[in-house]
Each structure stands twice: as C-alpha cells, then as structure tokens.
Amino acid sequence: MVDLKGQYNGIKETVNTSIQEVLDNTAYINGPQVHEFQKELETYLNIKHVIPCANGTDALQIAMMGLGLQPGDEVITADFTFAATVEVIALLQLTPVLVDVEPDTFNIDPKAIEKAITAKTKAIVPVHLFGQAANMEAILDIAKKHNLFVIEDNAQGIGATYTFKDGTKKKTGNLGDVASTSFFPSKNLGCYGDGGAIFTNNDDLAHTIRGIVNHGMYKRYHHDVVGVNSRLDSIQAAVLRAKLPKLDVYNTARRASARKYNAAFKNIPQIEIPITHTKCEGVCDTCDCHVFHQYTLKIKNIDRDALVAHLNENNIPCGVYYPIPLHAQKAYSNSRYNEADFPVTNQLVKEVISLPMHTELDDEQIKFISQTIIDFITQ
C-alpha cells in the first residue's frame, strides 16, 4: 500500500545527516530537533502552537484533556473512522456519540451532528478522512450555535487545504479549537517510528497541553494537573525535519496518482471514484483540497470481497478502510444507537476498497492495478 523504502531512497542523504546530528549530540529526548521541527510545522500550518507528542492517539486524548472535558460529557464523532478517535473518548470516560457520514466524501455529516446534540454535548471531533477536510464551515457554525469545542482529527489530512464559501483558505488542523495529527510511518507526513502532535491557536490551551504531555508539570517536580508521558523523540523529529519540506511535493504526487486512477475508472459503471467538494475533483495541480491519504473507491453491484481476493491473488495490495462501523464494534456498542441512524456507514463498509497510494507510484503500476480491477469487474 505504501513504498517507504522507495521514498527513503530519494531523501537518504538528508535523513541520514539529520539522524546523525542526533546521534552526535545524544539529546535523544527533547533535543534541539524537536524544537526546530515544532517551529517549522507551526510556520507550515500558519498556526501559533504545535505541541509534539508520542503518537496520534495520544494527541487526541491530550487535546480532550486540555479542553477539560469531564466524565459524562458527550463527544460527537464519525461512525466511519479508525477506532483511535472513539477509543480515547471512551478512555477518558466521556460518552462517545457516533453519527453517520456523507455518502460522497465519507466525512461526518453535519445534519447528523445536529440531530445528536443534547444538553450534555461538549465537543465535536470531525476526522478529515482519507485526506479530505470534513464540511468544516457547517460544523463550525453548529459548534458556535451550541457552544461546542471542535477537535479536528487531522491524522489523515496533513497538508490539505479547506476553502470557505467566501474564498478564505486554511490548512486542516487550523480550523477548530484544537487538532491532532499522527506521524505514523504510512501517514502523509510519516516518521520512522511513532509520533504525533497537537495544534492550536489558543495560548492558554497550548500552555495547559504542554504541561499535560509532561506529567502535568509546569515547573520541575510540581505536578499541577494529572498528566501523561507523551513525547516525540529527537530521532523522529530529525526524520520529520528532513521530510516536512517535501510534504507538498509528496501530496502533489499523490494527487497525480489519484488523477490517473480516476481516468482509468471513469467509464466503469460499477466503480465510483472519490468525490470532493470542489469541482476540480481535488486532483488538479494547483488545488490541495484532497491529499489522498487513501485512494478509496466505492464498488457497486459487484462482490467487493471477491475483488479483494482477486487483487491479493495478483499480488496487488489493497485495504478495506473500514470493514465494520464503530457503532457495531463490541467495545463501542450502545443501546442509544439505532441501525436506521447509520444508513451510509452501513452501506460504505460493504462497498469501499482502498488502492495502493503513495509518493512512489509509477504509471506502469497504476495501469496494472487499474486494469486488473477493470478486467475482474467487466469479465
């Protein structure tokens, strides 16, 4: 699904030099690279505060702790996402409230959010799924109206831009009260181990969060709040410093591959190509509304699982993200849910398939992958 080796070969010298610096100065934790990376990412996102941490799941949890959410508070998020999002809500003894998504973009449905709001609702967690921003303008309006926090899960969306109706553009992760991201190796900005970060423009919240990631310490050995130990190590920061300048180039390469897949599948009635909010389908050279963390098709009137098996037989990797709705997972089931509230997710889990998508895909690979799929479907 990804080609981390091919990508590394293209940046080997820079990465090696950057890692060697850490080895030479032995500041493995909180070394200068961590601080430098933080500053560079703040500039890239045009945001006031980036707080690095150990992974994207921690980032979400720490964001919620920083906002002071309390047991029993309800947090609304998407039914169709990776479990990390709902897991941390439950771990903090907040109440996850899962809602349905939009059929075209796979992102949380603002209408479903509004329906789920109660007197206990405190926050909304939109996930910018597969690399495309959720419908943030509508979500921010709802949050304002009901006085709710917006926590963006930007693990899959780093580098994407959201355009408001008035033409204002902002990077994802810079739209809500606070955001989280992951630097897991296969993410669009991945390190060579685990890593994550929290973003915010709020000075007080940033201060609170900087203490939480460090055992609740604001002054050495004074623990003012209950915190956690969540750090980005210096070697990972060194890798990220080498890769951040390439992020836009990498995302452009992903879009170019998406455009080629789209062209191959355009006239196949059983295949629905990814749809974006904007008219350009998110695949033009100049627009970065979609960064294609995943390239995900919807397969209609064909046995999706048989297609997966066929691709595996032909040594083509593929993934089903996600095969089970979160509301149907044992850990997150709740009698408040009604199957009729999740028509879109229940359908998507049967239809979606994600194809190899990375920075090193070449035309021949795309042709082989798409032709194998088309042959199976039209046989």
Q: Which residues bind ligand PLP (CB under 6 A)?
A: 55-57, 81-82, 84-85, 127, 153, 155-156, 182, 184, 194, 196
Shorter beta-carbon distance to ligand PLP: residue 82 or 292: 82
Q: CB of 154: closest distance to ligand PLP in angstroms?
A: 8
- Which one, of 257, 251, 287, 288, lies nearest residue 273 by Cα? 257
Q: Which is nearer to ligand PLP, 56 or 96 (CB)?
A: 56
Residue 274, C-beta contacts closer than 8 angstroms, at least 6 positions apart: 130, 132, 258, 262, 281, 282, 290, 292, 295, 296, 297
Residue 279, sorted as left (phi over 0), alpha (psi -120 to 50) or beta, turns out to be alpha
Rounded least distance, CB 220 to ligand PLP, Å: 28
Q: CA 49 to CA 310: how far, in whole Å?
A: 47
81 or 95: CB nearest ligand PLP:
81
Task: Quote the tokens at residue 66.
Answer: 């920083």
Of 121, 120, 161, 111, residue with least CA distance to 141: 111
**Least distance CB 182 / ligand PLP (angstroms):** 3
CB of 152 to ligand PLP, least distance (A): 10
At its nearest, how many Å lie between ligand PLP and the CB of residue 129? 7
Nearer to ligand PLP, 83 or 217 (CB): 83
CB 204 within 8 A of CB 228: no
Residue with tokens 């993410």: 187
- Contact in structure between 274 and 308 (CB atoms under 8 Å): no
Q: Which is nearer to ligand PLP, 109 or 153 (CB)?
A: 153
- Residue 325 structure tokens: 């709705």
∠245-249-255 over CA atoms, to 5°? 145
Q: Which is nearer to ligand PLP, 195 or 282 (CB)?
A: 195
Least gap, CB of 71 to ligand PLP (angstroms): 22
- Closest distance to ligand PLP from the beta carbon of 60 (Å): 6
Smallest gap from Cβ 64 to ligand PLP, in A, equals: 13
Q: How far is the CB of 343 from ligand PLP (least distance, A)?
A: 22
CA pair distance 65, 61, nearest whole angstrom: 6
Residue 322: cis peptide before it, omega within 30 degrees of 0? yes
Residue number, 153 or 360, with CB nearest to ligand PLP: 153
Ranked by CB distance to ligand PLP, the top (closest) residue is 56
Measured from the CB atom, is 58 or 360 closer to ligand PLP? Answer: 58
**Torsion (CA) 24, 28, 31, 34 in degrees, nearest 10:** 120
Q: Given the complex with ligand PLP, which of 158 and 373 has the nearer CB atom?
A: 158
**Structure token digits, residue 265:** 């599948």
DSSP string, 291-340: --SSEEEEE-SS-HHHHHHHHHHTT---B-S-SS-GGGSGGG--TT--GG
CA-closest candidate to residue 246, choices 3, 14, 2: 14
Quote the least distance from Cβ 65 to ligand PLP, whole Å: 15
The nearer residue to ligand PLP, 238 or 377, going by C-beta atoms, is 238
| Residues in Cβ contact with 83 at an 8 Å cutoff, skipping those fewer than 6 apart | 326, 329, 331, 332
Non-local CB neighbours of 202 within 8 Å, separated by 6+ positions: 48, 49, 177, 178
